[in-house]
Chains A and B, each alone.
Chain A
Amino acid sequence: MITFAIGLSILLLIIVLFLLFRIGTLASIFRGSSQRAVGTTKTSNRVNSALLLLFLFVGGAAFFWSFADAWDEMNQPLASVHGEWTDSLFWTTMVVIGIVFVITQILLFVYSYKYQHQDNKRAYYYPHNNKIEIVWTLIPAVVMALLVFAGWKTWTNITSEAPQDAVVVEVVGKQFNWIVRYPGADGKLGVADYRLIDAVNELGIDFNDPNAHDDFMPMQLHVPKGKPVLLKIRARDVIHSVFMPHFRLKMDAVPGMPTKFWFVPTKTTAEMRNETGNPDFNYELACTEICGRGHFAMRFIVVVDEEEDYEEWLAQQKSFVEQNPDILAKFSSPSQDQLVLSKEAEKAEEVKSEL
């Protein structure tokens, strides 16, 4: 019954609108305004040009108000060294384009209003002016050159080789969660091969490699404050993307092609909790490359510790082998096949590291 009533009222509304439209058309025929060339009638010109000007003022004011209003929420708290560079470059660029935005939009709407049609007027025949063209080609070119230079410098710094003493963490994306692996006391990640993956050995670590024996996979990504951290990024099935918004950090995880990104965290989780006044604050790791059903839920907690806390945390971690003693049995007496396999894996790893 309600659906019927809604349907009926919508129908009536449409009929009313249609009648209004017909009346309007007939009235314009009576007034004779339909005899004039389109766009030269007084009312429609006045109304439209006034609305354009109104749009400029009201729209502009609404934009600036909402921008200011959303300011605190849109600026995610920042916690990395390179993030400071990109943030300042971002807002510098925003100011530059903001100026252009304001000037061009004002000119567009003001000209539209000012030069609306008048019967006794004629447009000014002004087909070209090469001097002006050259000027307004050169100005953007120079501005672009400056922006390219600033961007290029920042980009080169961010993508430079990670320092030798960087903390190395492997981050692996899979449908639909992240797995992180630390190299353990020896500082070396063991070799992995996707063909060794099973329900327990989710990363396909080859435990014939002694470097793998102290590797561990914690449930949170811990990094020390103020030290460079190198993320070695891989994917197991489809492309994922490591995104840590507070660190202004993003890098795709690509199956078959390891990638990397290094950064220096500047604020511990505790400091950030203080700063934001939110006792539950956590740094988060999200996926930003569409990867299937659970794409929106690939959340992983990142914790930044003071260096001593980080060391303490490291010391508490048990290696994967300790947690899963059975795993070594599979690898203890490698058959001929597995030997070949692991050699291949080593080779593959070598090739990759060269890349």
Chain B
Amino acid sequence: MSSADISIQKDVHHVHEEHDHHHDQNFFEKYIFSQDHKVIGKQFLFMGILWAFIGGFLSILFRLQLGWPDATFTFLEPILGGWIENGKLNPEFYLAMVTMHGTIMVFFVLTAGLSGTFFNFLIPLQIGARDMASGFMNMLSFWFFFIASVILFISLFLDSGPAGGGWTVYPPLSALPQAIEGSKSGMTLWLIAMALFIISQLLGGVNYITTVINLRTKGMSMTKMPLTIWSFFLTAVLGLLSFPVLFSAALLLIFDRSFGTSFYLSDIYIAGEALANTGGSPILFQHLFWFLGHPEVYIVILPSFGMVSEVISTNARKPIFGYRAMIGSLLGIALLSFVVWAHHMFVTGMNPFLGSVFMFLTLIIAVPSAVKVFNWLATLWRGNIRFTAAMMFSIGFVSLFISGGLTGIILGNSSLDIHLHDTYFVIAHFHLVMGAAAFFGMFTGVYHWFPKMFGRMMDEKLGYVHFWLTFVSVYLVFMPMHYLGIAGFPRRYYSWTTFDSFSMFSDMNVFISIAAIIGFGAQFIFLFNFIYSIFRGRRASMNPWHSNTLEWTTPPLPGHGNWPGEIPAVYRWPYDYSKPGAPEDYIPQTVPYSQTQSSNLPHEKDLE
């Protein structure tokens, strides 16, 4: 099957090569409107980093408010202008910042920035393809994302402020401009940006899936694919199935906002006037939103699973433990992620019976997640661990994933969710398990594949400093938040001083804010390391980590088409590390069994 595909791919490439020889690509073709998967991946990475700093900066601003609710913030006037009123932050702008922080981080950084970067960059390189199935669609995917980014960015500077109804934009709050300033033009731009974003995701998703299915090199069967590709593939499937539902939810919201329909609106009296809308249901939006929203958190975390598995195996110099169990648990998580969405809605007034069903389905997810953690631990066991910066972030990832994942068992329990829903316990849970953890996955990816992206190494020592500051501050920020949550501190509160019940823990909030500022500051070390290493980093060898996968058989800076000669064929799985009898502690996928008689296992003796 795959050999037939290869020949097609070769033909395509011939055309390209001739094209290259006749006239060099100009600057725009090469770097801006490029159809090369590596350039598009880098474009996504740069955008993702930019957005991450914006999103992170917003969180620092509102952490200032939460840490020091009585302080005056006149010094922020140069940045925030009119949103500082008499030295006080405008409460609606506080909500807008919270909303934009969530939107930016979940969608623009951890979805587009993370999957856009690594799916584009790694899929062709790791499966042995010259490029994506459709370079043009791939380019469109980035530019749709770019336009969405521009629109969302512009919304930050509107007079009425950006969207302010929370990143989940529940109507009626998000549907009624009289309810909150952010539901004026800010919300319109949010919806347009999201619609374009979804188009970008779908264009990318179709491409990823097609590429993985059709363009694998000779010998690269599904069970010889690195776990990275497995996780990317399943993530793309999740995105393709769930993003259209968000699109429809957004579309109906646009209708409600602009064309007087009542999909989500009913029996509303606001701003001195009874609205004519009847018969709609705000709960319908929540169902549609979380039907995407829950798979979305797995869209964020699955790619990190894959990359971390790969990096842990490479640097522990050990095969990943339970390769098939890892694939099976990925499949299980992907499947289950579609039938648990209503655990975000236990206390919305939906039928309690549904609550029981969704509690049951939700807690099942703990099983495949636990299997993954045990397998990572087993991979480390009796390894020969190389602490590269990427490996440090992988270990950090596993630690954060355990800490955040376990509290999911509590929140998934509907009777416990009654007290904890929409409190800081939830904030702590998801920031650890899908926020910080996914960021650690992303850092793992950047540190590990940087040599292949830019042909140079990042500075490892700065990487360690970056890791330690980030790792410690993440725990210092989010562990104490559990205490606030158990005490019932509600999220999206401008300040808690109004309530006697929430009058304690003011020191804790100062502490969290300081830790957050340190953590954010540490990211500038990364930024420096990243930019400096692109230009001045140590030149990378072809395979600096002594890794087995296909991308390390390309030149340090792979050109258009990735491999100068023929695409190598694959003979073995990607995790033959420290195989007894082999001269080196790694055997790349491209080495046939016939050349490794000394290390072959009994059943491998007769293999090619």
A→B interface (CB under 8 Å): 21, 24-25, 28, 34, 37-40, 44-45, 47-49, 51-52, 55, 59, 63, 66-67, 70, 73-76, 83, 85-86, 89-90, 93-94, 96-97, 100-101, 104-105, 107-109, 111-112, 115-118, 121-129, 132-133, 136-137, 140-141, 144, 147-148, 151-152, 154-156, 158-159, 175, 194-195, 197, 199, 204, 233, 236-239, 241, 243, 245-246, 248-252, 254-260, 280-282, 284, 286-297, 299
Task: Assess the A293–B356 pair: CB atoms within 8 A.
Answer: no
Task: Assess the B370–A136 pair: CB atoms within 8 A.
Answer: yes
Q: In the bound complex, what is the Cα–Cα distance between A101 and B266 (angstroms)?
A: 46
Q: In the bound complex, what is the Cα–Cα distance between A59 and B91 (angstroms)?
A: 35
Q: In the bound complex, what is the Cα–Cα distance between A295 and B380 (angstroms)?
A: 48
Task: Assess the B172–A286 pair: CB atoms within 8 A.
Answer: no
Comparing B18-26, B41-49, B252-260, B392-400, the segment that makes contact with chain A is B392-400
Task: Assess the A292–B578 pair: CB atoms within 8 A.
Answer: no
Task: Assess the A256–B268 pair: CB atoms within 8 A.
Answer: yes
Contact of B386 among A45, A75, A238 (CB under 8 A): A45
Task: Assess the B173–A125 pair: CB atoms within 8 A.
Answer: no
Q: Is B158 an interface residue (CB 8 A)?
A: no
Task: Assess the A237–B270 pair: CB atoms within 8 A.
Answer: yes
Q: What is the size, in residues, of chain B's interface with A at 8 Å between Cβ atoms? A: 125
* A-B pairs with lowest CB-CB distance, top 3: A39-B386, A256-B266, A259-B349
Task: Assess the A105–B399 pair: CB atoms within 8 A.
Answer: yes
Task: Assess the B410–A93 pair: CB atoms within 8 A.
Answer: yes
Task: Assess the B352–A238 pair: CB atoms within 8 A.
Answer: no
Task: Assess the B579–A295 pair: CB atoms within 8 A.
Answer: no
With both beta carbons as reference points, the residue of chain A lying nearest to B538 in the complex is identified as A34
Residue of B282, B475, B494, B544 most packed against chain A (CB within 10 A): B282
Q: Is B486 an interface residue (CB 8 A)?
A: yes
- Interface readout for B251-277 with A: 1 if CB under 8 Å, 0 if not? 000000000000001111110101000
Task: Assess the A108–B318 pair: CB atoms within 8 A.
Answer: no
Task: Assess the B381–A111 pair: CB atoms within 8 A.
Answer: yes
B contact residues around A25 at 8 Å (CB): 459
Task: Assess the A123–B399 pair: CB atoms within 8 A.
Answer: no
Could you list some 20 contacts between A and B, CB below 8 A?
Answer: A21-B459, A37-B386, A44-B461, A73-B483, A76-B488, A89-B413, A97-B406, A100-B406, A111-B383, A115-B381, A117-B387, A123-B384, A124-B318, A137-B325, A155-B359, A155-B414, A236-B269, A255-B172, A256-B281, A284-B500
Q: In the bound complex, what is the Cα–Cα distance between A45 and B283 (angstroms)?
A: 53
Residue of A233, A238, A287 most packed against chain B (CB within 10 A): A238
Task: Assess the A48–B387 pair: CB atoms within 8 A.
Answer: yes
Q: Is B605 an interface residue (CB 8 A)?
A: no
B contact residues around A299 at 8 Å (CB): 498-499
Given A39-B387, A85-B415, A293 and B399 contact (CB-CB distance below 8 Å): no
A contact residues around B355 at 8 Å (CB): 155, 159
Rounded to whole Å, the gap between the CB of A122 and the closest CB of chain B is: 5
Q: In the bound complex, what is the Cα–Cα distance between A96 and B406 (angstroms)?
A: 10
Task: Assess the A152–B91 pair: CB atoms within 8 A.
Answer: no
With both beta carbons as reference points, the residue of chain A lying nearest to B270 in the complex is identified as A237
Task: Assess the B501–A122 pair: CB atoms within 8 A.
Answer: no
Given A122-B578, A127-B323, A296-B493, A67 and B483 contact (CB-CB distance below 8 Å): yes
Rounded to whole Å, the gap between the CB of B273 and the closest CB of chain A is: 9
Task: Assess the B483–A70 pair: CB atoms within 8 A.
Answer: yes
Q: In the bound complex, what is the Cα–Cα distance between A237 and B266 (angstroms)?
A: 9
Rounded to whole Å, the gap between the CB of A311 and the closest CB of chain B is: 27
Q: In the bound complex, what is the Cα–Cα distance between A59 and B419 (angstroms)?
A: 28
Task: Assess the B419–A108 pair: CB atoms within 8 A.
Answer: no
B contact residues around A259 at 8 Å (CB): 348-349
Task: Assess the B381–A116 pair: CB atoms within 8 A.
Answer: no
Q: In the bound complex, what is the Cα–Cα distance between A289 and B388 (angstroms)?
A: 44
Task: Assess the B402–A104 pair: CB atoms within 8 A.
Answer: yes
Rounded to whole Å, the gap between the CB of B163 and the closest CB of chain A is: 12
B contact residues around A93 at 8 Å (CB): 409-410, 413, 416
Q: In the bound complex, what is the Cα–Cα distance between A146 and B66 (angstroms)?
A: 39
B contact residues around A75 at 8 Å (CB): 486-487
Task: Assess the A254–B282 pair: CB atoms within 8 A.
Answer: yes
Task: Assess the B92–A292 pair: CB atoms within 8 A.
Answer: yes
A contact residues around B383 at 8 Å (CB): 111, 115, 123-124
Task: Assess the A116–B385 pair: CB atoms within 8 A.
Answer: yes
Q: In the bound complex, what is the Cα–Cα distance between A47 and B380 (angstroms)?
A: 18
B contact residues around A159 at 8 Å (CB): 352, 355
B→A interface (CB under 8 Å): 91-92, 95, 165-166, 170, 172-173, 176, 179-180, 265-270, 272, 274, 278, 280-283, 315-325, 347-349, 352, 355-356, 359-360, 363-364, 366-367, 370-371, 373-375, 377-378, 380-388, 391-392, 395, 398-399, 402-403, 406-407, 409-410, 413-416, 418-419, 421-423, 457, 459-462, 464, 468, 471-472, 475, 479-480, 483-484, 486-488, 490-496, 498-502, 504-505, 508, 538, 544-546, 575, 577-580, 585
Task: Assess the A238–B322 pair: CB atoms within 8 A.
Answer: no
Q: In the bound complex, what is the Cα–Cα distance between A258 and B348 (angstroms)?
A: 10
Given A44-B460, A59-B475, A115 and B316 contact (CB-CB distance below 8 Å): yes
Residue of B166, B380, B480, B496 most packed against chain A (CB within 10 A): B380
Task: Assess the A286–B399 pair: CB atoms within 8 A.
Answer: no
Given A115-B380, A175-B179, A288-B422, A296 and B267 contact (CB-CB distance below 8 Å): no
Rounded to whole Å, the gap between the CB of B230 and the closest CB of chain A is: 16
Task: Assess the B392–A48 pair: CB atoms within 8 A.
Answer: yes
B contact residues around A148 at 8 Å (CB): 359-360, 363, 413
With both beta carbons as reference points, the residue of chain A lying nearest to B318 in the complex is identified as A123
A contact residues around B409 at 8 Å (CB): 93, 96-97, 144, 147
A contact residues around B419 at 8 Å (CB): 83, 86, 90, 245, 248-250
Given A155-B352, A280-B500, A286-B490, A123 and B382 contact (CB-CB distance below 8 Å): yes
Given A101-B406, A194-B269, A132 and B173 contact (CB-CB distance below 8 Å): no
A contact residues around B498 at 8 Å (CB): 296-297, 299
Rounded to whole Å, the gap between the CB of A237 and the closest CB of chain B is: 4
Task: Assess the A239–B172 pair: CB atoms within 8 A.
Answer: yes
Rounded to whole Å, the gap between the CB of A246 and the closest CB of chain B is: 7
Rounded to whole Å, the gap between the CB of B400 and the closest CB of chain A is: 10
Rounded to whole Å, the gap between the CB of B522 and the closest CB of chain A is: 13
Task: Assess the B388–A38 pair: CB atoms within 8 A.
Answer: yes
Task: Assess the A51–B413 pair: CB atoms within 8 A.
Answer: no
Residue of B325, B384, B398 most packed against chain A (CB within 10 A): B384
Rounded to whole Å, the gap between the CB of B469 and the closest CB of chain A is: 12
B contact residues around A199 at 8 Å (CB): 272
Task: Assess the B367–A141 pair: CB atoms within 8 A.
Answer: yes
Task: Assess the B461–A124 pair: CB atoms within 8 A.
Answer: no
Task: Assess the A74–B319 pair: CB atoms within 8 A.
Answer: no
Contact of A237 among B172, B320, B375, B538 (CB under 8 A): B172
